Amino acid sequence: MEVLQNGFTKFAITKPHEITVPLTNGTKNLFANGTTNLLNLIAESYEDLSNMDPSRAFVNKVKRLIVKVGTAVVTRSDGRLALGRLGALCEQLKELNLQGYEVILVTSGAVGLGRQRLRYRRLANSSFSDLQKPQGDLDGKACAAVGQSSLMALYDTMFSQLDVTSSQLLVNDGFFKDAGFRKQLSETVSALLESRVIPIFNENDAVSTRKAPYEHCLQDSSGIFWDNDSLAGLLALELKADLLVLLSDVEGLYSGPPNDPSSKLIHTYIKEKHQSEITFGDKSRLGRGGMTAKVNAAVCAAHAGIPVIITSGYATDNIIRVLQGEKIGTVFHKDAHLWKNLKEESAHEMAVAARNSSRRLQALKSEERRKILLAVADALEKNQNMIRLENEADVADAVAAGYDKSLISRLTLTPEKISSLAKSVRVLADMEEPVGQILKRTELADELVLEKISSPLGVLLIIFESRPDVLVQIAALAIRSGNGLLLKGGKEARRSNAALHKVITSAIPDTVSGKLIGLVTSRDEIPDLLKLDDVIDLVVPRGSNKLVSQIKASTKIPVLGHADGICHIYVDKAANIDMAKQIVKDAKTDYPAACNAMETLLVHKDLSCTGGLNELILELQREGVQLYGGPKASSMLNIAEASSLHHEYSSLACTIEVVEDVFAAIDHINKHGSAHTECIITEDSEVAETFLSQVDSAAVFHNASTRFCDGARFGLGAEVGISTSRIHARGPVGVEGLLTNKWILRGSGQVVDGDRGINYTHKEKALKA
């Protein structure tokens, strides 16, 4: 353990990988109280290293790394310096330097910066008549000479502000042919790194005599390079780096141009597989390189035993994330072709397999699909011990990690819960066949009949929280509705989810294939899945507001769900107060974290005079509910004012506000609500009907708890989620919400022919029994 000057403590988990946490009195006590508390702090302050992607495990051994930043990252589209990105780069390198990493920077951008300054100088020195004449191109080497000093001055200023010392090393390709130079270079860099100085390399373009690119591999250390990408690769060999990070203006290497929707991010490059498949786009916007140069440098360095990762330099923390082992960017490694995880299906392959399996499922007869569900229910009961064993391991990890009791409760699969799941699957099996139902029959003309029938959506992507029982419910709904399914559960339930997935897919016959239901095991696959709008038909995120909002913002695929569950109860002046107390208590305290729990209580102003308001407040306070007031209630009741009237507490807390009448309540809900579930408590049927018809939410109740808004309670068998969307499905979404329709036209040789010779009748016909 080492105490750093900035008040942080550094300690090693597996050398040389280190973690830095704030040194406080509490931290000191943790060291005194033993390892367990220390590890708990690590879990809170830093992502658990056990979550590291297997293909990035090599970063644990990284001590010396080279970071190359390209012109497209250093500069903006107008050629000016991207100061924000440069600042974020320097911040990351400073943190790595502080943690004991040996960091070397290779930077481009001097020519672009010099060109910008010389253009200004030419403009400032030109007369008006000079500006009317054609302007010739600026000399590239002059631009380099001017830009190098400016670029280094900028780096020096930024690093100085971070209390870091940097140094400049300008090199030419010819230098590396001299063995003495190479030896001296290595010694100089080692001395700088030992003093915690960050060496900054750049090619001295101002005096370079290179005429054409060097096309051979760098592994022979011949000393010839064509651009800063190949320079970075050469330096990685010469200076014996453990990792080379090439920062680009895109997320990594794609199978085609990154702006092509059909292009897919390649997480691991295998030369034998990808070399012939990739189509490169344009070269760098301002520099000489581009993705082709990066790949050439990465392939050569990886062949020589130095891992390389190409990732985006636009993100503010990608270098840190690379060293945490996150699956970002594209990795090049000499052993990549041997890695077991590379044999796993890609996101696209998994989605295509689910679609193909769903089509085979749809081809089965209704009774055959029913038997699959019954087999799933039987398999759940038969494998209960195995499921519980895996679940107990998840629960033990959750307890050790200090998760809330509410999360652990949701995570736990009791025998009763497993039996209940099996029962719900059987209920779905016994439902009326939902697929292929004739919804409408119309005779368009004599012997020309149009049918509207129900059909599956296709492939669903469900992203859900730490409840493994959700996996069973959604899988059963997918089978019943004939849909393919991709599931991504919370990491807290990874063993439980894997066990349940294995049990369910083993019950699906080979004629359909267990690939009907795919289990996504890494969160890093989610961005790739969200790009598959050609294969995935609907995304249903179940989780936090932040998760749902992020999903909606990052995909073209339709998203079904709700970002907030701000449910209201309005207690009218004509309410039965005893009934109101019971409903309000249940809606808030039965399951406070549920999306259908009451978050705002609206009370008619007259109840403040009759004592009804006080009774409601006392009922909630007896249950330990923390109350926050709206503008009126906070002053009337002398309680803290709510920070927002649009707030989801998901805990034993709620907002209370006093309103003039039912119309004020309706206005409040439509303005501040989330269109989820609302309730009115009143004995006045006219007021109730006004509320039910004018509140614009997915579910509106009269004299009943908002907690009833649930697929199982609605008799849907199960639900994939609750939708506040106004398109397709709204409210609890069961089997019907996972269906669309198709049109079947049955004729006897009719043709349009300009509508001549055809007599349209458009008669509604009875549905077939």
Task: Write out pLDDT tens, residues 344-374.
Answer: 457 788 899 999 999 999 999 999 999 999 9
**pLDDT level of residue 622 (50, 70, 90 thresholds):** very high
* Enclosing H/E stretch for 64: strand 64-69
**pLDDT level of residue 408 (50, 70, 90 thresholds):** confident
**CA atoms in the 13 A half-sphere facing the CB of 444:** 16
For residue 134, the model assigns a pLDDT of 63
Enter the DSSP assignment of 251.
Answer: S
Confidence check: pLDDT of 559 > 70: yes
> 445 pairs with which residues across the strands?
448
For the chain, give the mean pLDDT: 83
CB-CB contact of 565 with 595 (8 Å):
yes
For residue 13, the model assigns a pLDDT of 35
Confidence check: pLDDT of 668 > 60: yes
For residue 26, the model assigns a pLDDT of 36
- One-letter amino acid at 190 equals S
Enter the DSSP assignment of 641.
Answer: B
For residue 579, the model assigns a pLDDT of 97
Query: DSSP string spanning 305-374?
Result: T--EEEEESSSSSHHHHHHTT---SEEE-TTGGG-GGGGSPPHHHHHHHHHHHHHHHHTS-HHHHHHHHH
Over the stretch 50-87, which tens digit does the pLDDT of each residue have? 446 677 889 999 999 999 998 888 888 777 778 888 99
For residue 71, the model assigns a pLDDT of 82
Over the stretch 242-267, which tens digit does the pLDDT of each residue have? 999 999 988 898 877 787 766 778 88
Q: What is the mean pLDDT of residues 511-527?
A: 87
For a pLDDT cut of 90, what percent of the chain falls above it? Answer: 52
* For the chain, the helix, strand and coil percentages under 3-state DSSP, each to the nearest 5: 45, 20, 35
For residue 702, the model assigns a pLDDT of 97
Token couple for 71 = 């012109």
Per the model's pLDDT, the better-predicted residue between 484 and 290 turns out to be 484
Confidence check: pLDDT of 282 > 70: no
Over the stretch 476-515, which tens digit does the pLDDT of each residue have? 999 999 999 999 988 889 999 999 999 999 999 999 999 9
**pLDDT level of residue 769 (50, 70, 90 thresholds):** low
For residue 52, the model assigns a pLDDT of 62
Over the stretch 688-743, which tens digit does the pLDDT of each residue have? 999 999 999 999 999 999 999 988 788 887 777 788 877 778 888 888 888 999 99
CB-CB contact of 45 with 18 (8 Å):
no
CA proximity to 447, closest of 743, 744, 742, 750: 750
For residue 280, the model assigns a pLDDT of 54
For a pLDDT cut of 70, what percent of the chain falls above it? Answer: 84
Which SS3 state, helix, strand or coil, does residue 574 take? coil
Query: DSSP string spanning 519-553?
Result: E---GGGHHHHTT-TTT--EEEE-S-HHHHHHHHH
For residue 638, the model assigns a pLDDT of 92
Question: By mean pLDDT, which of 111-115, 167-171, 193-197, 532-536 is the weakest?
Answer: 111-115
For residue 275, the model assigns a pLDDT of 67
CA proximity to 107, closest of 227, 6, 240: 227
**pLDDT level of residue 135 (50, 70, 90 thresholds):** low
Over the stretch 12-53, which tens digit does the pLDDT of each residue have? 333 333 333 333 333 334 333 443 343 343 333 333 334 466
For residue 266, the model assigns a pLDDT of 87
Confidence check: pLDDT of 143 > 80: no
Q: What is the mean pLDDT of residues 131-159?
A: 76
Q: What is the mean pLDDT of residues 421-436?
A: 92
For residue 760, the model assigns a pLDDT of 93
Which SS3 state, helix, strand or coil, does residue 293 take? helix
Confidence check: pLDDT of 148 > 60: yes
pTM: 0.58
Which SS3 state, helix, strand or coil, does residue 107 take? strand
Per the model's pLDDT, the better-predicted residue between 623 and 405 turns out to be 623
**Rounded Cα gap, residues 193 and 211, in angstroms:** 33
**Rounded Cα gap, residues 349 and 371, in angstroms:** 28
Query: DSSP string spanning 717-730?
Result: S--SEEE--SSS--
CB-CB contact of 380 with 387 (8 Å):
yes
Confidence check: pLDDT of 561 > 80: no
Confidence check: pLDDT of 754 > 50: yes
Question: By mean pLDDT, which of 231-235, 323-327, 523-527, 752-756 is the weakest?
Answer: 523-527
Q: What is the mean pLDDT of residues 106-127?
A: 73
